[in-house]
Structure 1
Amino acid sequence: MQRVSNTNMDQEPTEHNAVSPTWPKFLLAVLTLLGVFKGRPLDACRPCYDCRHKRVDGDKSKVDTNCGAESRSDENRNMENNQEADGSSRPDCAVCSSLLWNADGKIVKDCSKAVPGWLNSRMCGVLSNLLVLILLGCSTFTLGWYVVTMWGQVRNINHLVSFFTSVDIISGVVLVCTLSNAVQYCHRGPVLDWSWYDILNQDYILRRLRCLAGRRFPLPKKVFLIFSLVWLLGNYTMQVGIQGRHHSSRIINDSVMPIGNSSVHLMRSAPTAFTILRTAMGISVSIISLAIYTCFWYNILIMRTALTAELNLVIVFIKRNTGNLDLCRRRVFEVDHDFRILHGLLATLMPFIVASSVLGLTVHITWNYEIYSEKDKDIAKRNLLINISIFTSKCFALILPLLAVGGINIDVIWQQFNYALMRQRNSLHEEFWERLLGFTAELQDERKAGHNLMLFLSLISLYLGRNLPEQRLDYTLDH
């Protein structure tokens, strides 16, 4: 877990305009596959909350709508946002200026070079979102096919649950991407609330990545990428080997069948063709879905790392403005706004993934006990490759989110932020630090991590996974 540190906190950021460097190509590919870019201009010059809601001409019944009235065009809204964030409307707002700091402490307003124009196009956005939508539909079809074919067969519950607990995790992530992108198409305004669906908003991601990019922007978290890609390659190899071996045996069985029994041959040939088509679609969906699953959690890891980097910048801001309680509270509120977006998503998604993974692993371990307790040892040998593939896939679906989040939730980041603030307190501004730390603690107490739900679901998963009736043990057979 990356800690919030006070490195170079005594060095004040150099406040002059800088240009955002081009993002790493692999990171651009990840964001494109997730459907982040939709052909809209990159604009992360969001003013602070007070500047967005300042009073107009002393009339307290009115609120300044410079950040986006729905009746205005997107072009006018972006222009007004940029003007206000640039300080043209409130040049004395230190909070707005600090929101534009990059990793080097410089103010970055121009992000036009971050993403190539041909990549940030409507056509590219439509194609990437269409791919995610097709993947969601194919995953839903595969789940439905398994439920229909195995429904009412008690001896196939083990197989059904084992498959379901793997696909529903990946499909859940694909659904999150689909809903998030759908909302972005419907809502063109800036990110002003704490909704989880803004996790793939391009302006939100741009603000996060600005905290990681300085004069140069190397690809972050390379070890995580290498680990994920190696694991993915291993899973792909095993799945192709399993499917090829399975269908080879099916073709051999059909070929040795008596030629005279034409009616049986016709009955079996059609299902075989359908099974080959279904399996081919299943392999394709599996390859694409695992890739999107990996890209999603890599993006979450980058967002978590960027939030940690911004919290470092917030500490720098607080040190520069020690004693000004209202100003520091406003800056903490701004980073809490973006923190809640990521926290709100993970507070629901992580309990679901952990509980489903516990159920899947419990069922799989129980199945292993059964096949290795059988007198017929050929069952274990025939299912060895399938056994390894299922186990590694389930571990991959669980370990990848845990590594990306740094545990069950990201609350530890805020705790380390509080510890870093505590190290800065001094007797000269005792009341200031006391009230500021109380404010950050209140913000943390408002967020619920979902531990009780995760524990409850995990216990149910353990019970259900262990108490299954007698099951079909040989996964290599169709019936």
Structure 2
Amino acid sequence: MLTDNTEQTWPPIVWFAMKISGIFYHQQIVRQRRCLSCDMEHFAKQQKINSDDTNALRPIDVDITYNLTSQYESNFSYKSARELGNDKRSQDDDTCDACKTCWWNKDGNVVRYTESSIGVSHWNHPGSWLLSIIILFTTIGLLINEFRRTINTKFGNPKKLLHLLSYTAFLCTVSIVPIMSLSSKLRSAFSGRGPGSWATAINARFIVRRLQFLDPAKNGYPGKIFLVACLVWPVLCAVFRCYVILGLSNKQTTEDALSCIIAGLAQFIWGCFVFLIYLMRRSFQIQLDLVLRFLKTMEGQTELCQRVLRQVTEDFRCFRHCVRIYMTAVIPLCVLGITTNLTWQYMLHATDAKPSESLNTQKYINIMIWLEISMFICLGAVAVGGIDAKHIWEMFQLSIYCLQSSHQRSHWNYLIRYLKHVEERTPAVSFSMILSVVGFYMAVQFGKQDVIY
């Protein structure tokens, strides 16, 4: 692999998406890269040094618990971006060949960069962590207030149950992203301690490392049409919602205007998040292809190959868990939204007395709801590549089976055993499917409803 340096900035659209989504938290994003094995060894050395400094005499005095995501979450003993820019030669001497794969670009070349060279330093300025917290807390607070207002006006009224379920499904869907992003900040605040490794995938350090495999300085970002859809579709939904709620209604209130603003803001944040998921998914597909080539080239060097596999396995595990949690929450909510809207449409057309003006308004409301539901389903499915990222890892494992050769059978058998050992088992019937069935049942069991919004 060649070693190259780059001073070309990356397109700023992703920094904008990360800023809007409240992703930035750590002041130092680009740091010294170590593979997981070297990072564990470095952690053990640091613990030994700390124990010597504090004259610890008992094993219990030394923290030997290593967090697999500490290279993204922790704040200890890493060279800064400035040091990386001034000390690349020493880093070459201090790291193994597996560590150098952490700097791969799209072509498998080792390309080191700094925060200034890729342009993220202008977006991740001092105080960015506070701004991210403010954005997330404000968004979540506004959504909670909107949900409270909905409960006060519709809860307890049997004839408004359909309206309540439909709007609740929408609010919960757009609340998922800021809640997940805030959870990521909480995990980073505790240096990644405890469960919830999925939150690491919504970490600026993790995302930047993923983006390098796309080589954005040279090729830009893939999926430009999808990017336009992620930014324009939420705006279109927000504008159409304003037209329906404020333009067609005879009673415009300040709360209705605030409701439209909240919905538009939450949908735009959702669109930015979905595009980031898409980029990470594409980056893993590129990285896994590079890893396959690396394994074939380094055939016989079992320890080196396992080090590379160990790193990519942990990274993909974080991403896959994040996608699974997101899709597990979104799928039943979309099913609930679809079924309640279909039920409402059936009851609306079954009603005998319908004023023509009111029916025209309901038609626009129906378009608005379907526009939002189709956005959540279509853009989410394209970003993930389906309903789960499992297929990416399965194709990677299948490719490794195809690569094995007879003269290095023990080498390949060892790697295959390792992959089987770390393979995750998922239940055939997921929690998402159960909630989908429950949501469908709830949506069709209603008495007489007020079909006019």
With the length of structure 2 as denominator, give the TM-score of the two structures: 0.85
CA displacement at 1:34 relative to structure 2: 1.7
Which residue is 2:234 aligned to?
232
- 1:244 equivalent to 2:246? Answer yes
Larger radius of gyration: 1
- Per the alignment, residue 94 of structure 1 pairs with 97
Helix, strand or coil at the partner of 2:79: helix
* Residue 464, structure 1, aligned to residue 442, structure 2: yes
**Alpha-carbon distance in structure 2 between the residues aligned to 1:157 and 1:173:** 26
User: What fraction of aligned residue pairs are identical, expressed as a percent?
Assistant: 22
Match of 2:30 among 43, 53, 58: 43
CA contact (8 A) 1:135 1:289 kept: yes
CA contact (8 A) 2:173 2:330 kept: yes
State the Cα distance separating 1:56 from its structure 2 match.
Answer: 4.9
1:402-446 per-residue CA deviation (whole Å, 9 max, x = no partner) reads 1111111101110111122233222222232233223223323x2
Is the CA contact (8 Å cut-off) linking 2:160 and 2:449 kept in structure 1?
Answer: yes
Matched to 1:439, the amino acid is Y
For the Cα contact (< 8 Å) 2:4–2:111, is it kept in 1? yes
Say whether 1:314 aligns with 2:316.
no
Indicate the residue corresponding to 1:366 in structure 2.
Answer: 343
Local SS of the residue matching 1:474: coil
Per the TM alignment, residue 120 of structure 1 is displaced from its structure 2 partner at its CA by 1.6
Tell me, yes or no, if the aligned pair for 2:237 and 2:372 is still in contact at 8 Å.
yes
Secondary structure, counterpart of 2:218 in structure 1: coil
Q: Tell me, yes or no, if structure 1 residue 107 matches structure 2 residue 110.
A: yes
The answer for the alignment partner of 1:400 in structure 2 is 379
Q: Find the partner of 1:203 among 202, 205, 209.
A: 205
Summarize the alignment of residues 279-294 of structure 1 with structure 2, pairs less than 5 Å apart.
279-294=256-271
Counterpart residue number, 1:301: 278
- Displacement of 1:183 in angstroms is 3.3
Aligned residue identity for 2:79:
N
Q: Matched residues in 2 for 1:198 and 1:68: separation? A: 7
Q: Which has the higher helix share?
A: 2
CA distance in 1, matches of 2:411, 2:436: 43
Deviation of the 1:366 alpha carbon: 0.8
**SS across alignment from 1:53:** helix
CA offset at residue 289 of structure 1? 0.6
Q: Using the TM superposition, name which of 460-469 and 369-378 deviates more.
A: 369-378
Q: Moved runs in structure 1, 4+ residues, more than 6 A?
A: 61-65, 67-70, 80-87, 190-194
Deviates more, 1:80-89 or 1:154-163: 80-89
Q: 1:23 is matched with which residue?
A: 10
Give the letter aligned to residue 227 of structure 1.
A
Q: Contact conserved, 1:354 with 1:458, CA < 8 A, in 2?
A: yes
Counterpart of 1:118 in structure 2: which amino acid? H
Assess, with a 3 A threshold, how the Cα gap between structure 1 residues 396 and 64 changes in structure 2: closer, same or farther. closer
Please state how far the C-alpha of 1:91 moved relative to its aligned partner: 4.3
- Cα distance, 1:300 vs. partner? 0.7
Q: Which amino acid aligns with 2:24?
A: F
Q: What is the RMSD of the two structures over their aligned residues, measured on CA atoms?
A: 3.3
In structure 2, how many angstroms separate the alpha carbons of the residues matched to 1:317 and 1:190?
30
Structure 1 residues 21 and 417, CA, compared in 2 at 3 Å: closer, same or farther? farther
CA shift in 2, pair 1:194/1:421, >3 Å: farther
Q: Give the 3-state SS of the residue equivalent to 1:211 in structure 2.
A: helix
Query: Given residue 146 of structure 1, which amino acid in structure 2 is its aligned partner?
Result: T
Q: Distance in 2 between matches of 1:393 and 1:359?
A: 13
The structural deviation recorded for 1:233 is 3.8
Contact 1:39/1:121 (<8 A) preserved: no
* Structure 1 SS opposite 2:111: strand
Cα offset for 1:194? 6.8
Which of 136, 139, 150 lines up with 1:146 in the alignment? 150
Q: Distance in 2 between matches of 1:422 and 1:180?
A: 35
Give the corresponding residue for 2:79. Answer: 78
Match of 1:265 in 2: none
Equivalent pairs, count: 430
Q: Is the 8 A contact 2:32 2:78 kept in 1?
A: no
Deviation at 1:465, TM superposition (A): 0.7
The DSSP-based 3-state class of the residue aligned with 2:103 is coil
Residues 364 and 68 from structure 1, CA distance in 2 versus in 1: closer, same or farther, beyond 3 angstroms?
Answer: closer
CA–CA separation in structure 1 for the residues paired with 2:11 and 2:427: 32
- Aligned equivalents of 2:443, 2:110: Cα separation in 1: 54
Q: Which amino acid aligns with 1:245?
A: G
For 1:144-223, what aligned pairs fall within 5 Å after superposition? 144-184=148-188, 186-187=189-190, 189=191, 195-213=197-215, 216-223=218-225
Against the structure 1 CA distance between its residues 89 and 244, is the aligned structure 2 distance closer, same or farther, given a 3 Å change threshold?
A: closer
1:302 Cα offset (Å): 0.8
Decide whether the 8 Å contact of 1:36 with 1:201 is kept in 2. yes
**Alpha-carbon offset, residue 152 of structure 1:** 1.2
Question: Structure 1 length as normaliser, TM-score?
Answer: 0.81
| Secondary structure, counterpart of 1:183 in structure 2 | helix
CA contact 1:409–1:449 (8 Å) conserved in 2: no
- Match for residue 442 of structure 1? 421
Q: Per the alignment, do residues 84 and 194 of structure 1 end up closer, same or farther by CA in structure 2, a change over 3 Å counting?
A: farther
Letter in 2 for 1:33: I
Aligned amino acid, residue 98 of structure 1: T
> In structure 2, what residue type is equivalent to 1:209?
L
- Cα 1:400/1:358, change in 2 over 3 Å: same
- Check conservation: 2:106, 2:215, Cα contact below 8 A: yes
Deviation at 1:355, TM superposition (A): 0.7
Structure 2: stretches of 5+ with no match in the other structure: 49-58
> What secondary structure is seen at the aligned counterpart in 1 of 2:430?
helix
